Structure 1
Amino acid sequence: MQQEKKFDFNQTIGFILIAILFGVFYYLNKPSEEEIEKQKKELVQKQEQAKKQEQLNKTASQKLFEEVDTTQAKDVEVSNDKIKVKFSPKGAQISDVQIIGYDAYNVKKDGHKDPLHLIQEGSNTFNLSFKSKQGAVINVSDLIFVPQVQKNANNTIVTFTANAQNSQIQYIYTIGDSYGIDFEVKTQGLSNITSDSKVDLAWNMNGFSTEKGKDQEKYWSHTYFQFKGNKDIEYELFGADEWKEEDAISWVANKQQFFATVLSNEEGFKDTNGGSVNSDKQDLVHSKYYHLNSKLDLKNSEINTKFTWDFIPLDYKMLKSYNDKGFQNLIDFGWGILGWLNKLFFLNVFKWLASVGIAYGWVIFLMTIVVKLILSPIMYKQNRQSALMKVIRPELNEINEKYKDSKDAMKKQQETMAIYRNAGINPLAGCLPALLQIPIFYALFRFFPNLIDLRGVPFWFVDDLTAFDDLIKLPEWVPFLNGHLSIFALLYIVAMTIYFKVSGSMDNFQMPQQEGMPNMQFMKYMMYIMPLFFFVFLNNYASGLSWYYLVSNTINIFIVLYIKKYMINETKIHEIIKANKAKPKKQGKFASRMQDMMKQAQEMQEQQKGKKK
């Protein structure tokens, strides 16, 4: 007999005492108003000192470097058929990058479309800094450069130059016909300015929010990097990330959901730390704030380093042939078998079906049918197993009634296993098909939110298959639903519930309770609650996934009904079990060992009972 859980008064008192102790500790250690005021003043003083130091550094830079005629210091714009780039003379920065052929989502605009900028209005800062011989910090991003533009048949070369007394700093950008920009930093006579042997590198970027699903966008946006001489990439998923590495890193990517800004260094970044922080919920302009810090070694007291900037859409097929740096691995298709399923199966099936030229929503529909055809043998085995279990249920109920006492648990288990064995049923056989489907189920969670082909693609009442559908609006105060109801998610839950009914999934929870097994009544309740959890999740997820699961469950309903009506006949099942019972049973080694172990356990149990008497 299971004992009822009773109210534990002592445990409750313990929790109350712990709470009181925490409260007393907090009160005793709470800073006084004088201490809080002192901390505020110290913070203000530090901020003022930082501003003064920044101004001193700028003044020192202006004294060291030649003053530039403002008519010579102009913005430079360069474009090809993939990107449009603007360079600023201040700090020789890349000040604007637009990806041609893609739009950014803007909820406030009619049509919800804007040109897609990865960098705009000073959101990107690349800075090299070092100390002058007088002790001032020189930030190259504060200097004013003079640009010079050269064009040839294949490339446009933009050279920015800042001159000091007997020294020079140059930033050289080369733009061809790809998403990449070669970037070279060269100096002459730097030893006249500094005695440092290293230069600090700092890259800061505010990632613009370009997608409809803001929460999803933040979830998939992170910094990624690759160690030099290694094709694997490193990253930390879930929320903000922070990392520090001493080994050389060949490239660092500020990844957003469907785009990435990548900075590569030919020699490798050393003594590097980086990461990203989520923007505030109220900030609809940005999704992430990225940062990178590293050091560059001076060679013969000069900087002579080659970088590459890449502003890339995360298209797996395109990136595989883009270069040999492994940028295609920035797409979060999953690790292990999940990644292989998405890259080798789902992506190829999707591309093959899309080549017909039909709408992507119908491509997903056809892709679901292909998957269902492949899994149909597994579904047949599942339903056959369910039918067999249904037939022997009366016998199992009899055993359960016969051995109600917990002392007879071993006998009940032995006779239950004997019924399974005589009927030719393997109770674990129903688990294997379900296990085979789990990787497919979870692989699709990675596939749809990361497939750039679906980005911004409408289908029926959905305006973007990689974001939620929000035709039904709700007040913002409704918890968990983010102000909308997804129709596809709702219909999927309805289809899931119907499938549970017609497939007999609920019948499995009417089986007799076995010793040591989970409470079937509780599991039945969970089967009703589970759709609610799925709905809350899918309501804010990619509508393409909800559409896939809706189609999948609808097909499942018809497959199950067909199997039950035409392929599995209960009379035939009885005949199969009867024939199995008549056959002589060959007990395998494993079954024999299990039976011996159960007998030994039963004997030990009886011996212990005798000792107690």
Structure 2
Amino acid sequence: MQQEKSNLNQIIAFVLMGILLFGLMYYNTPSDEELEQQKKELVQKEEEAKAKQAVNSQKAQAIFQPVTGEVKDIEASNEKMNVKFASKGGQIESVQLISYTTYEKGVKDTPLYLAKDGSNSFNLTFKTKDGVEVNTKDLNFIPSVQKNASNTIVTMTAAAQGGQIQYVYTLGDSYGIDLEVKSQGLSNMTSDKEVALSWKMDGFSTEKGHDQEKYWSHTYFQFKGSNDLEYELFGSDEWEEEEAISWVANKQQFFATVLSSEEGFKNTKGGSLNADEEDTTFAKHYFFTSRLELKNAELNHKLTFDFLPLDYNMLKDYNDKGFQNLIDFGWGIFGGLNKYFFLPVFKFLANFGIELGWVIFLLTIVVKLVLSPIMYKQYRQSALMKVLRPELNEINEKFKDSKDAMKKQQATMEIYRNAGVNPLAGCLPALLQIPIFYALFRFFPNLIDLRGVSFLFAEDLTAYDDIIKIPEWIPVLDGHLSVFALLYIVAMMVYFKVSGSMDNFQMPQQEGMPNMEFMKYMMYIMPIFFFIFLNNYASGLSWYYLVSNTINIFIVLYIKKVMINEEKIHQIIAANKAKPKKEGKFSSRMQDMMKKAQEMQEQQEQMKKNRK
């Protein structure tokens, strides 16, 4: 009765707390009139801020009035890119990479721009002695162009009475644009000891797989004097550092825009934000701020903008700044496999001039040849376990009582020992394949060689294939079914059947071992999860797995029919049983521990009987 009363009191307490919380929420929720008023106040504040900024901009422009020369944009180019320099702000207005195209709003092979229509904003901010805030992005710069050898030098000058600010751009024959920021007579205008640098960039969506593109797009940076890359792949892509960094990169899936400093950026903040779901123009919005110290009261800093395709071999030879590490091939052993095995083998096979889809096919065969000894051992172990199943079933029947669990375990281990079978040996080959399995998830979505390359059902091997359209309202499938992913799942199920993987889950349940019934259901559920994932992933990976599983089916059939049969397995087990057994130290200790555990269990059961 006391317990029931206590429960009733708890229920009443929770109900009262719920009513109180609901009342507080209702009381604190603003009315429609209040929400409308708050909205008006917010709009008013934004308009006031814009008006104030406009007035400030006019004052700044009044200080920096063009003295001589024409205010106009300048275009320059080399074999790799076309560049436009804007007189407004004196900054890089647009950059087109000549050898690359983009997938824009469902249209393939349109010109690829990394900057265009104001998506790139480079700004320096300082205050005059009169308190006027000057933003260089608002100023009109006068251009001048000079050419020497293979370089085009564009000088942008914003002049004021008593001083000037200059951006000197040098475009050579690479993907880089050197920028020298310098001033004269700046001390006549400001008492500041440093200038605030702000760089904002809207990253265009250039790939078919929009969601996947967002996943691979982040800001990266490198500390000065270090070779390690820093980034926030998971969670919020936002960081703040006091220590000097040598460069910061706005990375997209296959391209990156990098801003470097010879002496390093100090007191930096950076990061990126995902574009709106409905926005198909941009994938990311990047931001970066730093402080540039005035030297002898003047600006004198050497920077570089690099607009790069993320081609690993090209970037290794590009400079010594480590830009090749922007390609996210994975960390540790996974990245090593991609950089030093998969990539060299892929490049070697591609040099024969064959279609890249068939290069993936040949790459799969190479991997299968390397893994074939492991696969043989794995299947051999599975075959040994299958032959022992009748004996294990007998043990299971003999020791049905839960009290005999220890005896059943001892008898089972004895069968394994006599037959020369290690029940855990089949796990090792599977574990050895995990690094390869994971490395490939990083390899195909980041290999620029496959970007935009069509093959069979896919128009781009780095994105999903979508020739089968389905209604958009169907969840998680995004309005399409990937043929490569579907065929891979079919091949997976056939492999499970042929290899006897499902048969392993018919083994008798052993004490302390995973629930085989649960594992059997997982074998059916796993293909569904794989399909959902691969349906929106790089079709090159699905094609690789399809080929891999098809080859596995034929390898297993060959091993099963030619290399291994049950008669030979019985002979191996019989021979193992006939051999004299050497008790290893570990095995001996395990046997002693199991015997002691059995004795303790019997003693406990006897003590229970005596108490009764």
Report the TM-score when normalising by structure 2.
Answer: 0.95
Within the candidate set 500, 523, 526, 1:530 is matched to 526
Alignment of 1:407-486 (within 5 A): 407-486=403-482
Aligned positions of 1:25-174 closer than 5 A: 26-33=25-32, 35-67=34-66, 72-109=70-107, 112-174=108-170
In 2, the alpha carbon distance for the partners of 1:50 and 1:589 equals 79
In structure 1, the residue matched to 2:539 is 543
**Aligned mates of 2:109, 2:492 — CA distance in 1:** 35
**Contact preservation (8 Å) 2:197, 2:289:** yes
Residues 359 and 516 of structure 1: is their aligned pair in 2 closer, same or farther, counting only changes over 3 Å? same
| Aligned 8 A contact 2:248 2:258 in 1 | yes
Measure, in 1, the Cα distance between the counterparts of 2:43 and 2:503.
Answer: 68
CA distance in 2, matches of 1:19, 1:545: 51
User: For residues 416-459 of structure 1, what are the alpha-carbon distances to aligned partners after superposition, in whole Å with 9 as ceiling and x for unaligned?
Assistant: 11111010001111000000000001100000000000000111
Residue pair 1:103, 1:116 contacting (<8 A) in 2 also: yes
SS in 1 for 2:291: strand
Aligned to 2:579: 583
Whether the aligned pair in 1 keeps the contact of 2:214 and 2:283 (CA below 8 Å) is: yes
Write the deviation string for residues 488-535 of structure 1: whole angstroms up to 9, x where unpaired: 000000000000000010011001111222221111011001001100
In the aligned structure 2, how far is the partner of 1:24 from the partner of 1:588? Answer: 72
Q: Which amino acid aligns with 2:400?
A: K
> Residue 137 of structure 1: CA displacement?
1.1
Classify 1:476/1:68 alpha carbon distance in 2 versus 1 (closer, same or farther; 3 Å).
Answer: farther
1:379-394 matches, cutoff 5 A:
379-394=375-390
Q: Counterpart in 2 of 1:268?
A: 264
8 Å contact from structure 1 (residues 56, 136) kept in 2: no
Question: 3-state DSSP class of the match of 1:219?
Answer: helix
| Gap runs ≥5 in structure 2 | 1-6
What CA distance in whole angstroms lies between the structure 1 residues aligned with 2:308 and 2:21? 51
Q: Is contact 1:212-1:467 (8 Å) kept?
A: yes
CA contact (8 A) 1:203 1:293 kept: yes
Q: Secondary structure at the match of 1:277?
A: strand
Q: Give the residue type in structure 2 aligned to 1:507.
A: D
Contact persistence 1:511–1:520 (CA under 8 A): yes
Q: CA deviation at 1:593?
A: 1.2
Q: CA deviation at 1:221?
A: 0.4
| Structure 1 residue aligned with 2:602 | 606
1:3: which partner in 2?
A: none
Q: Distance in 2 between matches of 1:520 and 1:28?
A: 55
What is the alpha-carbon distance in structure 1 between the residues aligned to residue 562 and residue 383 of structure 2? 13
Tell me which residue corresponds to 2:275.
279
CA contact (8 A) 1:470 1:486 kept: yes
Conserved 8 A contact 2:151-2:170: yes
Determine which of 190, 195, 199 is the counterpart of 1:199. Answer: 195
Cα deviations by residue, 1:312-367 (Å, 9 ceiling, x for unpaired)? 00000000000000000000100000000000000000000001110000000000
Contact 1:262 1:311 in 2 (8 A): yes
Match of 1:5 in 2: none
Distance in 2 (CA, whole Å) between partners of 1:202 and 1:391 is 70
Aligned residues of 2:125 and 2:195 also touching (Cα < 8 A) = yes
Q: 1:402 to 1:28 in 2, by over 3 A?
A: farther
Contact 2:222 2:230 in 1 (8 A): yes
- Residue identity (%): 72
Deviation for aligned residue 1:223: 0.3
Match of 1:556 in 2: 552
Q: Which amino acid aligns with 1:193?
A: M
Q: Who is 2:220 aligned against?
A: 224
Paired with 1:471 and 1:19, the residues of 2 have a C-alpha distance of 52
Cα distance, 1:579 vs structure 2:
1.2
The secondary structure found in structure 2 opposite 1:610 is helix
Bigger shift: residues 574-583 or 219-228: 574-583
Q: 1:4 matched to which residue of 2? A: none
Aligned equivalents of 2:376, 2:563: Cα separation in 1: 9
For residues 487 and 422 of structure 1, the distance between their equivalents in structure 2, rounded to whole angstroms, comes to: 48
Alpha-carbon distance change, 51 to 490 in structure 1, aligned in 2, over 3 angstroms: same
Q: Which one-letter code corresponds to 2:46 in the other structure?
A: Q
Question: 1:50 deviation in Å?
Answer: 1.1
Q: 2: CA distance between counterparts of 1:113 and 1:239?
A: 33
Cα distance in structure 1, aligned partners of 2:211 and 2:235: 10
**Whole-angstrom CA distance in 2 between matches of 1:21 and 1:392:** 66
CA separation of 1:515 and 1:80: change in aligned 2, threshold 3 A: same
- After superposition, the Cα gap between the structure-2 partners of 1:15 and 1:556, relative to the gap in structure 1 and judged at 3 Å, is farther
Change (3 A) 1:239 1:363: farther
- Tell me, yes or no, if the aligned pair for 2:81 and 2:95 is still in contact at 8 Å: yes
Seen in structure 2, the aligned counterparts of structure 1 residues 14 and 520 have a Cα distance that, compared at 3 Å, is: farther
Structure 1's 509 and 297: CA in aligned 2 closer, same or farther, altered over 3 A? same
Consecutive unaligned residues in structure 1, runs of 5 or more: 1-8
How many residue pairs align between the two structures? 601
Shift of 1:608: 2.9
Partner of 2:502, secondary structure, is helix
Q: 1:391 to 1:20 in 2, by over 3 A?
A: farther
Q: Is the 8 A contact 2:457 2:484 kept in 1?
A: no
The Cα shift of 1:59 comes to 1.8
Instruction: Please list the CA deviations of residues 63-120 of structure 1 after superposition, one character each: whole Å capped at 9, or x if unmatched.
Output: 2112467x701110110001110000001010000001100012443xx221000000
Is residue 141–residue 157 contact of structure 2 (8 Å, CA) maintained in 1?
A: yes
Query: Does structure 1 residue 212 correspond to structure 2 residue 211?
Result: no
Q: Distance in 1 between matches of 2:145 and 2:585?
A: 81
| Amino acid of the structure 1 residue aligned with 2:62 | K
Distance (whole Å) between structure 2 residues aligned to residue 67 and residue 57 of structure 1? 18
- Is contact 2:67-2:159 (8 Å) kept? no
Offset of residue 14 of structure 1: 12
Instruction: Output aligned runs, 1:359-378, within 5 Å.
Output: 359-378=355-374
Deviation at 1:198, TM superposition (A): 1.4
Counterpart of 2:4 in structure 1 is none
Is the CA contact 2:180–2:303 (under 8 Å) kept in the aligned structure 1? yes
**What is the alpha-carbon distance in structure 1 between the residues aligned to residue 470 and residue 355 of structure 2?**
29
Which sits farther off after the overlay, 19-28 or 56-65?
A: 19-28
Measure, in 1, the Cα distance between the counterparts of 2:399 and 2:382.
Answer: 24
Instruction: Determine the C-alpha separation between the residues in 2 that align with 1:394 and 1:39.
Output: 77
* Contact 1:226 1:250 (C-alpha < 8 Å) held by counterparts: yes
State the distance in 1 between where 2:483 and 2:76 align: 44
C-alpha distance in structure 2 between counterparts of 1:198 and 1:513, whole Å: 72
Counterpart residue identity of residue 288, structure 1: K
Measure the CA separation in 2 of the matches of 1:86 and 1:19. Answer: 62
Change (3 A) 1:19 1:269: farther
In the TM superposition, residue 601 of structure 1 has moved relative to its aligned partner by 2.1
CA distance in structure 2 between the aligned counterparts of 1:551 and 1:68, rounded to whole angstroms: 68
Indicate the SS of the match to 1:321: helix
Task: Give the aligned partner of residue 342 of structure 1.
Answer: 338
Q: Report the CA distance between 1:165 and its aligned residue.
A: 1.1
Q: TM-score, normalised by structure 1?
A: 0.95
The structural deviation recorded for 1:22 is 6.3
In structure 2, what residue type is equivalent to 1:83? M
**Alpha-carbon distance between aligned partners in 2 of 1:174 and 1:519, rounded to the nearest angstrom:** 67
Per-residue deviation, residues 382-432 of structure 1 (Å, max 9, x unmatched) = 111011000111111111111122221111111111111010001111000
Secondary structure of the residue that 2:290 maps to in structure 1? strand
Query: How far is 1:30 from its partner?
Result: 2.6
Counterparts of 1:588 and 1:150, CA distance in 2: 82
Secondary structure of residue in 2 paired with 1:183: strand
Q: Map 1:225-244 onto structure 2 (within 5 A).
A: 225-238=221-234, 240-244=236-240
Tell me the distance in 2 between the aligned counterparts of 1:195 and 1:287: 40
